[in-house]
């Protein structure tokens, strides 16, 4: 709590300093004269959902504190204002000023947006942030969303996810055939080509669908959220690693007209707050997943399993095929992929002798 108060105090001080600066004509910015903004933000998450949902409330609190109350956000959870997967369109049309979800939910409208969430067998959390903030990824993201009337920001990341909950063992590629699984994004298309049937569902519908047999398996996030959702009570086999989402970035986005209506200091507060939420969410998931996994390891009804190497290599080959097809058919996807793949190729040798090498010594 002291750390959060301290960080919030620094952000507030930064906002105050920006407010006290004068423009080139010697006048204080208009926002310092008392101009205030009351915005709405729609999300894809249930109210106060650990990690994902709580992050949006934390974002609203940070922005309000740092701006001295000049910019406030009213948070609407999934279904309160618009359905779970329609926050994106609502912000684009100006029904709300902001939204928060995952970019790959909108692959039907913007196929290349999948690069901004997760590519199977792709970047880690640290690599994703490095590419977005220092490798040109964020600039490409904003170029991608410009025709949609949105200004995007990285705003959260869960880190490496789990492979999912299954009601049957997965010992070979053949065991994937015929399965119905809740799995979105590019990972869902990989699963389809492996012989399964991918289904996209909001978290509020996953438990019942798995319980009734409408789906045979589901991936969601990891132990922290999965225990909260109760998946361990209705599925036995818990597989890792999360090949489909090695470091899924979440996104906040602002309607362009709303963004341009803000003075520079409030724009800066939004950017800084979103970046802070990304760091905070990763810390929350690292802690929460560790604690929740201990509970699952002590549950005699849960079996933790690693996907066989043959299954992972098969899925990886399919993922590469799909990415190549997407790049061949979408100039913007090709442009993003060139940047994304170039940075990943540069990062892998460094990761091999740093994080990967160190973790290998700690096992």
Average pLDDT over residues 162-187: 97
CB 141 within 8 A of CB 152: yes
Residue 4's pLDDT is 41
Kindly report, residue by residue over 340-354, the tens digit of the pLDDT.
Answer: 999 999 999 999 999
User: Can you say whether the dihedral through the CA atoms of 270, 31, 71, 100 is positive or negative?
Assistant: negative
In a 3-state reduction of DSSP, which class is residue 29?
Answer: coil
Which residues touch 213 (CB under 8 Å, ≥6 apart)? none
CATH superfamily ID and name for 2-19+36-155+248-286: Bacterial extracellular solute-binding protein, family 7 (3.40.190.170)
Contact (CB, 8 A) for 237 and 169: yes
Cβ-contact 210, 231 below 8 angstroms: yes
More confident call, 23 vs 221? 221
| DSSP string computed for 108-174 | TT-GGGGGGT--TT---HHHHHHHHHHSSHHHHHHHHHGGGTEEEEEEEE--S---EEESS---SGG
Weakest-pLDDT range from 14-18, 41-45, 79-83, 144-148: 14-18
Strand, helix or coil for residue 252 = strand
Q: At what angle do helices 2-20 and 264-297 cross, to 10 degrees?
A: 170
d(CA 127, CA 348): 9
**pLDDT-derived band of residue 55, with 50, 70 and 90 as boundaries?**
very high
pLDDT value of residue 8: 45
> 363 falls in which pLDDT band (50, 70, 90)?
confident
Q: Are strands 249-255 and 150-157 parallel, antiparallel or unpaired?
A: antiparallel
3-state secondary structure of 255: strand
Q: Label residue 325 by pLDDT band (50, 70, 90).
A: very high
pLDDT on residue 15:
47
Report how far residue 230's alpha carbon sits from residue 215's, in angstroms, rounded to the nearest whole number. 15
- pLDDT of 29 strictly over 80: no
Please tell me the predicted confidence (pLDDT) of residue 290.
98
Question: In which band, very low, low, confident or very high, does the pLDDT at 5 lie, cut at 50, 70 and 90?
Answer: very low
What was the pLDDT predicted at 22?
A: 42
- Report helix, strand or coil for 74: strand
So what's the pLDDT on residue 91?
98
């Amino acid at each position: 709590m002291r750390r959060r108060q301290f960080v919030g105090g620094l952000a507030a001080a930064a906002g105050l300093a920006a407010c006290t600066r004068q423009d080139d004509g010697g006048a204080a910015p208009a926002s310092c004269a008392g101009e205030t903004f009351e915005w709405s933000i729609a999300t894809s998450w249930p109210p106060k959902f650990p990690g994902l949902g709580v992050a949006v409330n934390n974002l609203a609190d940070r922005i309000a504190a740092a701006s001295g109350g000049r910019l406030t956000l009213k948070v609407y959870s999934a279904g309160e204002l618009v359905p779970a997967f329609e926050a994106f369109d609502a912000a684009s049309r100006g029904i709300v000023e902001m939204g928060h979800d995952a970019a790959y939910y909108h692959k039907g409208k913007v196929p290349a947006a999948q690069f901004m969430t997760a590519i199977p067998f792709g970047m880690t959390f640290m690599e994703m942030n490095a590419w977005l903030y220092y490798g040109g990824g964020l600039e490409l993201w904003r170029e991608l969303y410009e025709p949609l009337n949105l200004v995007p920001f990285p705003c959260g990341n869960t880190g490496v996810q789990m492979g999912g909950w299954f009601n049957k063992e997965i010992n070979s590629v053949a065991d994937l055939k015929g399965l119905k699984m809740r799995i979105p994004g590019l990972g869902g298309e990989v699963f389809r080509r492996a012989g399964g049937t991918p289904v996209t569902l909001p978290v509020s519908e996953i438990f019942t669908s798995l319980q009734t047999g409408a789906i045979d398996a589901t991936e969601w996030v990891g132990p922290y959220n999965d225990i909260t959702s109760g998946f361990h009570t209705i599925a036995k086999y818990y597989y890792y690693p999360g090949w489909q989402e090695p470091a899924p970035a979440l996104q906040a986005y602002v309607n362009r007209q709303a963004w341009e209506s803000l003075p520079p200091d409030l724009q800066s507060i939004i950017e800084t707050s979103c970046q802070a939420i990304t760091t905070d969410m990763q810390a929350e998931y690292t802690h929460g997943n560790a604690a929740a996994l201990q509970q699952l390891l002590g549950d005699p009804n849960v079996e933790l399993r690693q996907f066989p190497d043959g299954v992972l290599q098969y899925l990886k080959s399919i993922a590469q095929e799909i990415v190549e097809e997407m790049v061949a058919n979408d100039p913007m996807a090709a442009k993003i992929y060139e940047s994304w793949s170039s940075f990943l190729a540069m990062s892998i040798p460094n990761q091999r002798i740093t994080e990967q090498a160190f973790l290998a010594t700690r096992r």
